[in-house]
Amino acid sequence: MRIPLNTTVAPSGTLRLVLRDQRVEVRYQIDARSMTSSARPAGDREIGVDKGYTEVLTDSDGQHHGTELGELLTSESDHRKIKNARRAKIRSVAEKARDAGQHAKADRITRNNLGTRKRDRRSSRWQQTVRTTTFRAVHAVVDKAALIAAEDLTKTFTGLARRGRNVNRRLAAWTKGVTAEALASVSERRGSVLTLVNAAYASPVVPCCQALGQRSGDRLHCTRCRVVWQADHAAAINALHRVGDPDITPHTPYQRVKRIVRERADRQPDQTADPGLQPTLWAESETSERSTLINK
Residues that bind Zn ion (CB under 5 A): 208-209, 222, 224-225, 227
Query: Rounded distance, CA 219 to CA 291, Å?
Result: 10
Closest CB 223 distance from Zn ion, rounded Å: 8
Query: Rounded distance, CA 215 to CA 48, Å?
Result: 20
Among residues 49 and 208, whose Cβ is nearest to Zn ion? 208
**182 close to 138: Cβ distance less than 8 angstroms:** yes
Closest CB 33 distance from Zn ion, rounded Å: 47
Among residues 189 and 215, whose Cβ is nearest to Zn ion? 215
Among residues 196 and 212, whose Cβ is nearest to Zn ion? 212
Among residues 122 and 224, whose Cβ is nearest to Zn ion? 224
Closest CB 230 distance from Zn ion, rounded Å: 14
Closest CB 234 distance from Zn ion, rounded Å: 10
Among residues 60 and 179, whose Cβ is nearest to Zn ion? 60
Closest CB 59 distance from Zn ion, rounded Å: 20
